[in-house]
Amino acid sequence: MFHRGGVTQPLALVFYESLLIGNQAINRLQELGYRTTLVTDLGRLVDQARAEKPLIFVAELAAESERVCEAVTRLRHEAETNHIPVLTFARHGTGRKQKRFEEMVRGAGVSLLADESRLLAQLPGLLDQVLAVE
């Protein structure tokens, strides 16, 4: 479907905080035929998405999870970017705090929240799932 090395490689915008999982996610996306571009300023996510026209936005939800969710909300409110699927990943928690976290993520318009510990192994299926949802 996509050709490696050509312009037809889909683009994934990627935001992460943890260097280890972030680099692993980027490497896995590239193995799957995606070009990747880092999002370094969440406040400019909408502008970056408008300019670069990604197929998907992939983001880690960690210490900056509220800022990521705010950026996703802005992405969803713009006509030019509201169609972009958003795959997020986080360490799985439990209890009431986890439930509130998941509600915040859903409320922002995230397409799919994945468990960080399974992200790399399940990434092909997660991408298929999130792209089919949109």
The residue ranges of every structural domain in the chain are 11-133
Give the tens place of pLDDT for each residue, 2-31. Answer: 444 555 899 999 999 999 999 999 999 999
Average pLDDT of the residues in 58-62: 94
pLDDT at 134 over 70: no
Domain 11-133 of CATH type 3.40.50.2300? yes
Q: Token pair for residue 32? A: 């799957």
Evaluated on CA atoms 46, 51, 57, 62, the torsion sign reads negative
Paired strand residues for 36: 12
Which residue's structure tokens are 């976290």? 101
Averaged pLDDT, 104-110 = 94
The mean pLDDT of 82-100, rounded to a whole number, is 87
Least confident of 27-36, 85-94, 116-125: 85-94
Beta strand pairing status for 112-115 and 11-15?
Answer: unpaired
Q: What is the pTM of this model?
A: 0.90
What CA–CA distance (Å, rounded) separates 118 from 98?
17
